[in-house]
Structure 1
Amino acid sequence: MLRIALGLVFACSTFLAPAVHAQLAPDHVVIVVLENRSFDQIIGSPEAPYINNVLVPEGALLTNSHALEHPSQPNYLDLFSGSNQGVTTNTRPLNTPFSTPNLGAKLVAAGFSFVTFSEGLPFAGFDGDVFTDKPGIAKYERKHNPAVNWQGPDAPAGNHLPPAANRPFRSFPNSPAGYELLPTVAIVVPNEQHNMHAGSIRQSDDWLRANLEPYRAWAMTHNSIILLTFDEDGYNTATNRIATLFAGQSIIPGKYDEAAIEHAPGAGADHFTILRTLETLYQLGVCTSAGDGARKPITDIFARVSNSPLLNSATRARVGTGDDVVISGFIVRGPAKKSIILRGIGPSLHVNGAISDPVLELHNSDGTIAATNDDWQSAQRQQLEASGLAPDDPREAAMLVSLDRGDYTVVLSGQSGATGIGLVEIYDVDPQGLSAFRNLATRARLGRGDDVMIGGVIIGGSETASVVVRALGPSLRGSAANIDDALADPTLVLFDGNGSAVAANDNWQETQRAKIEQTGLAPANAAESAILAALPAGAYTAMLSGKNNSRGVALLETYKLN
């Protein structure tokens, strides 16, 4: 009977072929460009304690990075568009706005976002050459803001960028909630006193610490990056050698000469290389064949993302009414939208007591309803049939949604208070995209026999996934959910696709305690269960039940670690 129940979780689900998952792109990249200092003037300097004592140890320092020319403005244009656009001086370019390809326009065309934050800019869209509120002290200078040369009211036509993408630095966020709302890529332009042009190295270093260290600290745990570089070396070296470094969650700290990707002997990396790297992270085309198109992207500084994505999830449980509906949660991470199909299955389970008419609701993280469906043929019928994931019974529910990064919950209930055994399913229909599932969880009321909870997950790719599966009960009583009748003692068994037990646990501290604590995912209560497993690609099911046939509300969770 158990093997039959486990098989039903995926027998009634439609498999999507496991696919190779792309590198998970950063959610955000903040680029900071400073001025006119060589590598040796910065790295190791006691006048730059923040850069040397925080950014360098935490980041990837390119030891053979170079600007492309002199003076400043052409280098900014090289970094942003793969060409100096024929500009060889610091004076305002003629014939703007340019209509040539550039990083900002490519990001927007691909569905991402881009903004420049300039310190001293008086208002969004300002197109003047200089602005200051202190006579005799130039604060903002247009020559250090490359994207403004593509600013046009007709954006996105002609590779133009809207005035709203040219913002004062005072609108740069200063809290974790604000960092979540940053554009995919942002360029930060400090003013002349803080970019090492008119001010000192120490002034700029202090400004970086005060204004961008909070973002850097947040980026280390939120799939984001800060990229610090210089426009040029200020004529201080024969090779225009500058300091360039990346720091963030996906960055492997260390020193890198990038000899493996140099475009000429001893050349290492340059502004074109940095642009090509960003284009590669977001799967954009190159801006020019002779500039960024002639460079190889930097790859060795990025932590390798295992090729073992979570593709599909299916959880079978008894659907009740009120607080006893089935609630599944999942997290989408990455800079791009994620295409997902959700299904609520009942009649086609062909089991005694199946729910007769399931209804689905998708909720945003703030609890608002993002989408609903009852009877899948009533909406999106053509799209669902084309996907190959249309349910077998017209009374079942399904929806195709395109979701931004965030936390989501799916509620499976019965039409007009119907109850019974149901299956809630989550399918990644774009497994090669730039975003991915992170965690999966389902809450339901457990009973005996067929009323245990059975959760299934499909791991794709070609590598082993490190996974933690948890069964929670007692800790739900004191949680925000405040569940009085939580399951007192959950037990957990993990099965492979053949129905063979891979691992089992009752009371997580009795097995794998040290390893589970190291993951940071140890349950809060000793009576709860957890399993840490290395799983090759395939289908797996976890059965959550109550010890000695006990009943109550429980939570089944799956975390992919690598």
Structure 2
Amino acid sequence: MRVAATMALVAVLLAACSDSPSPGKTQRHVFLIVMENHTPEQALSGPFMASLADKYGVAENYHAITHPSVPNYLALTSGSTWGVTDDSFHVLPRADLGTQLTKAGVTWRAYMEGMTTGQCIDSPTPYDPGHNPFAYYGGQCPPNVVPHDSLAADLAGDTPRFVWITPDDCHNTHDCDVSVGDDWLRREVAQITASKAFKSNGVLFITYDEDDSTADNRVLTIVVTPDLGHRTSAREYTHYSLLATIEDLLGVERLGQAKTASAMTDLIG
């Protein structure tokens, strides 16, 4: 009887251990900031971005998918451009990263600068709904899409596992000089890297939706982690690679073209 009871207890303990996610999957937070419409050389003319490139990971052979902006945002969040070739609003199926994370029980929020509460399509400029891809899936924003003003409190408290950040059309350098976006990034990155969520093995990606309309469409993508320091990668990556990397980090299946993309494992640790 004692042997049987002991074996039963061991079985229960083993089952409990096997049902517990690994620390990396439960604790790693992923942050993504998407900037606008510049080549790597243009982006690096900002002293803060240049300092990040000197200190952290840089994907030197990273390319956007196409032109103009909207299909790149769709590629980043669903693994497909859905045949979209313009910057108009399109209602698409709910087959995106946000829907995927919600179904998997992974906490996430998208912070949209300039968006007013409940107005993810109609908020005034410098907010741009074309830079809010989550509004396209199902034709409206899920409750996870919130004004950027909510970010500071979330970083100080219960930070979602996945944080997407869209600056307004000035701070993302779409309509304003690189120096303006560089100053904004200095403040934004500082509050992210000071957070407990980032310090606990978090990872911050900063990328650009597209370059300045060249055929090459190479964009700057920086990977900031607490401990890895400066490194570069010459591997060919795209927005599908970044989506694949994010999905792998958050423990969900890959969507669309991300299924066959190379994850950015040499830059994330």
TM category (shorter chain) comes to: 0.7 to 0.9
Following TM superposition, by how much is the alpha carbon of 1:281 offset from its aligned partner in structure 2, in angstroms?
1.4
Q: CA deviation at 1:213?
A: 1.3
Q: 1:118 aligns with which of 112, 119, 143?
A: 112
More strand by share: 1
Q: Within 1, Cα distance between the matches of 2:185 and 2:138?
A: 27
* Of 172, 175, 198, the match for 2:151: 172
* Match among 123, 130, 133 for residue 143 of structure 1: 130
1:104–1:113 contact (8 Å) kept in structure 2: no
Match of 2:60 among 58, 63, 67: 63
Cα distance change of structure 1 residues 302 and 252 upon mapping to structure 2, 3 Å threshold? farther
Cα distance, 1:220–1:183 mapped onto 2, change above 3 Å: closer
Comparing both structures, which one devotes a greater share of its residues to helix?
A: 2
Deviation at 1:243, TM superposition (A): 0.4
Contact 1:250 1:302 in 2 (8 A): no
- 1:294 maps to 260
Is residue 2:162 matched to residue 1:185?
yes
Q: How many residues align?
A: 257
Q: How far apart, CA to CA, are the structure 2 residues paired with 1:68 and 1:271?
A: 7
Q: CA–CA distance in 1 between the matches of 2:179 and 2:107?
A: 32
Supply the distance in 2 between the matched residues of 1:12 and 1:149 (Cα, whole angstroms): 51
Partner of 1:283: 251
- The one-letter amino acid paired with 1:248 is T
Query: How high is the TM-score relative to the length of structure 2?
Result: 0.86
Report the structure number with the largest CA radius of gyration.
1
Alpha-carbon RMSD: 2.6
Q: Is the counterpart of residue 202 in structure 1 residue 179 in structure 2?
A: yes
CA contact (8 A) 1:253 1:301 kept: no
Residue in 1 aligned with 2:3? Answer: none
Instruction: Pick the aligned partner of 2:211 from 220, 228, 233.
Output: 233
Q: Tell me the distance in 1 between the aligned counterparts of 2:97 and 2:155.
A: 26
Q: What secondary structure sits across from 1:255 in the alignment?
A: strand
Deviation at 1:251? 4.5
Distance 1:286 1:220, change over 3 A: closer
Equivalent residues of 1:216, 1:225 under 8 A apart: no
- Asked if the contact 1:252/1:301 (under 8 Å) is kept, the reply is no
Cα shift at 1:58:
3.6
Instruction: Determine the C-alpha separation between the residues in 1 that align with 2:154 and 2:130.
Output: 29
Contact 2:28 2:249 in 1 (8 A): no
How far apart are the structure 2 equivalents of 1:144 and 1:32? 11
Q: Could you tell me how far apart the structure 1 residues matched to 2:93 and 2:227 are?
A: 33
Give the match's secondary structure for 1:172.
helix
**Residues 451-505 of structure 1, C-alpha deviations (whole Å, 9 max, x = no match):** xxxxxxxxxxxxxxxxxxxxxxxxxxxxxxxxxxxxxxxxxxxxxxxxxxxxxxx
Residues 34-91 of structure 1: CA deviation (Å, up to 9, x unaligned): 0000112123x2xx111111x2234211000000100011100000100112211011
- SS of 1:285's equivalent in the other structure is coil
8 Å Cα contact 1:174-1:214 kept in structure 2 = no
Report sequence identity in percent: 30
Deviations 1:160-181 (A, max 9, x none): x62x212111111258533xx1
Shift of the 151–30 alpha-carbon distance from structure 1 to 2, 3 Å rule, reads: farther
Conserved in 1, the CA contact under 8 Å of 2:109 and 2:144? yes
Task: Answer whether contact 1:29 1:186 (CA < 8 A) is retained.
Answer: yes
Alpha-carbon distance in structure 2 between the residues aligned to 1:198 and 1:71: 15
Q: Distance in 1 between matches of 2:8 and 2:76?
A: 52
Assess if the C-alpha contact under 8 Å between 2:57 and 2:267 holds in 1: yes
CA distance in 2 between partners of 1:30 and 1:165 (Å)? 15
Q: State the partner residue of 1:353.
A: none
Using the TM superposition, give the Cα deviation of residue 188 of structure 1 relative to its aligned residue in structure 2, in angstroms.
0.7
Match of 1:72 in 2: 69
Report the Cα distance in structure 1 between the residues aligned to 2:241 and 2:60, rounded to whole angstroms: 14
Q: Which residue of 2 aligns with 1:385?
A: none
Say whether 1:222 aligns with 2:200. yes
Distance in 2, matches of 1:221 and 1:58, equals 16
1:425-444 equivalence runs, <5 A: none
Residue 142 to residue 176, structure 1, CA distance change in 2 (3 Å): closer
Between stretches 113-122 and 192-201, larger displacement belongs to: 113-122
The 2-side partners of 1:11 and 1:249 are apart by 43
CA distance in 2, matches of 1:30, 1:197: 21
Unaligned runs of 5+ in 2: 1-5
Tell me which residue corresponds to 1:270.
Answer: 238
* Cα distance between partner residues in 1 of 2:54 and 2:162: 23
- Where relative contact order (Cα < 8 A, 6+ residues apart) is larger, the structure is 2
SS of equivalent to 1:279: helix
2:42 counterpart residue number = 41
Measured after TM superposition, the shift of residue 206 of structure 1 is: 0.4
- Partner amino acid, structure 2, of 1:166: V
* SS of structure 2 residue aligned to 1:32: strand
Please report the TM-score for the alignment, with normalisation by the length of structure 1: 0.43
Shift in alpha-carbon separation, 1:56–1:210, aligned structure 2, 3 A? same
- Whole-Å separation in 1 of the counterparts to 2:210 and 2:226: 27
